[in-house]
């Protein structure tokens, strides 16, 4: 017979199960939050924790300037009939170096592969292939992506779908995303050994009773947060502190609020930070490492970010 005393333990055990796959029932997968729960959270924390214009480093306005990025390989985005529900960002001409891959989930898990085009073009211009969830949008919400959309990107790359864009380093695939897209990136990383790192922008896990899932995250994690006016700030801070012991991790925070600087020319300071982190991690670039970990002028700290990192050799 089941006693009332045992019930909480049974519930705890149920809560601590690790599903084989992380797709779950909601956009962003098992690390994510349902829209009703998110609504309750917004009611509690205030809508001002979303959106832009709340921090000292918030851009005054979205830019209308579109460039091919500041990197050595002028980049662009395009649709590709072999992966029609996504947008591919790549250098216009195949670069002379192998390209690592970033599979990207948008804020709100919005199904709009051009929602972060300035930022993603900037990354691609440094010799990266980026595959973003959703076809080109232009409108705000065309529905939400699922973890499977990000998995489709990885499958496509692994099967050689991206070969026409240049030499692809299929052993260097990073899952990344902003807000809900960052939670989707966690879910993509979970139990999928093809993902070598995860990058989270303005987000961490919302629910404390889901933080145990971090035990199954076994590759380096990076958080780029928007300071105290970003609903993702304390969430990402907490995730960083709860990661498995010894796991390399990086955390940087700039006072922009939840919207970062993605809609500035070339993705603004978030674009610069993301590129530096990638160049450090994936190409071992010493200047980029110094920009990420250094203190004075010519570092993230010099550019007004708070930076913490651990367990890098
Ligand atoms: C940076 O750290 C200081 C000290 O902990 C804190 O007061 C400030 O809000 C942080 N800023 C950002 C942008 O995270």
As a whole number of angstroms, the distance between CA 268 and CA 60 comes to 12
Q: Please provide the distance, in angstroms rounded to a whole number, between the alpha carbons at the two ends of the chain.
A: 53
> What pLDDT does residue 4 have?
47
Q: How many angstroms does the Cα of residue 169 sit away from the middle of ligand 1?
A: 37
Ligand 1 atom with minimal separation from the 57 CA: 13
Q: How many angstroms does the Cα of residue 22 sit away from the middle of ligand 1?
A: 32
> What pLDDT does residue 121 have?
98
Q: How many angstroms does the Cα of residue 138 sit away from the middle of ligand 1?
A: 34
Q: How many angstroms does the Cα of residue 57 sit away from the middle of ligand 1?
A: 13
> What pLDDT does residue 49 have?
76
> What pLDDT does residue 210 have?
95
Ligand 1 atom with minimal separation from the 225 CA: 14
Q: Confirm if 222 and 249 have CB atoms less than 8 A apart.
A: yes
Q: Whose CA is nearest to atom 7 of ligand 1?
A: 228
Q: Fold for 4-59+83-266, please state it.
A: Rossmann fold (3.40.50)
pLDDT per position as a tens digit, 128-149? 999 999 999 856 567 899 999 9
Task: Give the closest residue to 202 by CA, choosing from 57, 91, 19, 22.
Answer: 57
Domain-by-domain residue ranges, the chain? 4-59+83-266
Residues 6+ apart with CB under 8 A from 230: 49, 55, 202, 253, 256, 257, 258
> What pLDDT does residue 143 have?
84
Give the pocket of ligand 1 (CB within 6 Å).
Answer: 227-228, 253-255, 306
Task: Give the closest residue to 237 by CA, choosing from 251, 247, 220.
Answer: 251
Q: How many angstroms does the Cα of residue 278 sit away from the middle of ligand 1?
A: 24
> What pLDDT does residue 290 have?
97
Ligand 1 atom with minimal separation from the 304 CA: 13
Ligand 1 atom with minimal separation from the 253 CA: 14
Q: Whose CA is nearest to atom 1 of ligand 1?
A: 306
> What pLDDT does residue 64 have?
87
Mutation to probe ligand 1, out of 228, 257, 304 (largest number of atoms < 8 A from CB): 228
Q: Whose CA is nearest to atom 3 of ligand 1?
A: 306
Q: How many angstroms does the Cα of residue 100 sit away from the middle of ligand 1?
A: 32
Residues 6+ apart with CB under 8 A from 252: 222, 223, 224, 225, 273, 292, 300, 305, 306, 307, 308
As a whole number of angstroms, the distance between CA 125 and CA 64 comes to 19
> What pLDDT does residue 9 have?
52
pLDDT per position as a tens digit, 157-194? 999 999 999 999 999 999 999 999 999 999 999 999 99
> What pLDDT does residue 44 have?
82
> What pLDDT does residue 140 have?
59
Q: How many angstroms does the Cα of residue 187 sit away from the middle of ligand 1?
A: 28
Ligand 1 atom with minimal separation from the 254 CA: 13
Ranges of residues in the chain whose predicted pLDDT is under 50: 1-4
């Amino acid at each position: 017979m089941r006693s009332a005393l045992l019930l909480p333990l049974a519930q705890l055990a149920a809560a601590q199960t690790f599903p084989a796959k992380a797709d779950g029932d909601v956009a962003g997968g098992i690390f994510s939050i349902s829209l009703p729960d998110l609504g309750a959270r917004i009611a509690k924390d205030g809508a001002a924790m979303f959106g832009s214009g709340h921090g000292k480093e918030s851009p005054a306005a979205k830019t209308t300037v579109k460039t091919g990025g500041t990197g050595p390989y002028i980049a662009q985005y395009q649709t590709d009939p072999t992966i029609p529900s996504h947008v591919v960002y790549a250098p216009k001409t195949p670069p002379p170096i192998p390209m690592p891959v970033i599979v990207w989930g948008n804020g709100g898990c919005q199904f709009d592969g051009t929602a972060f085009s300035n930022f993603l073009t900037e990354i691609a211009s440094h010799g990266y292939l980026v595959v973003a969830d959703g076809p080109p949008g232009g409108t705000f919400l065309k529905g939400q992506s699922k973890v499977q959309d990000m998995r489709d990107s990885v499958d496509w790359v692994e099967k050689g779908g991206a070969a026409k864009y240049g030499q692809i380093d299929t052993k260097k695939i990073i899952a990344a995303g902003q807000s809900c897209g960052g939670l989707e990136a966690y879910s993509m990383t979970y139990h999928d050994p093809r993902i070598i790192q995860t990058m989270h922008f303005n987000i961490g896990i919302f629910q404390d009773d889901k933080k145990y899932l971090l035990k199954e995250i076994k590759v380096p994690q990076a958080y780029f947060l928007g300071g105290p006016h970003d609903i993702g700030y304390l969430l990402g801070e907490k995730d960083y502190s709860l990661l498995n012991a010894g796991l390399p991790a990086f955390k940087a925070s700039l006072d922009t609020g939840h919207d970062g600087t993605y809609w500035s020319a070339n993705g603004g300071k978030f674009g610069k930070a993301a590129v530096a982190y990638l160049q450090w991690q994936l190409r071992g670039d010493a200047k980029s490492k110094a920009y990420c970990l250094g203190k004075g002028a010519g570092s993230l700290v010099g550019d007004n970010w708070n930076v913490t990192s651990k367990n890098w050799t």
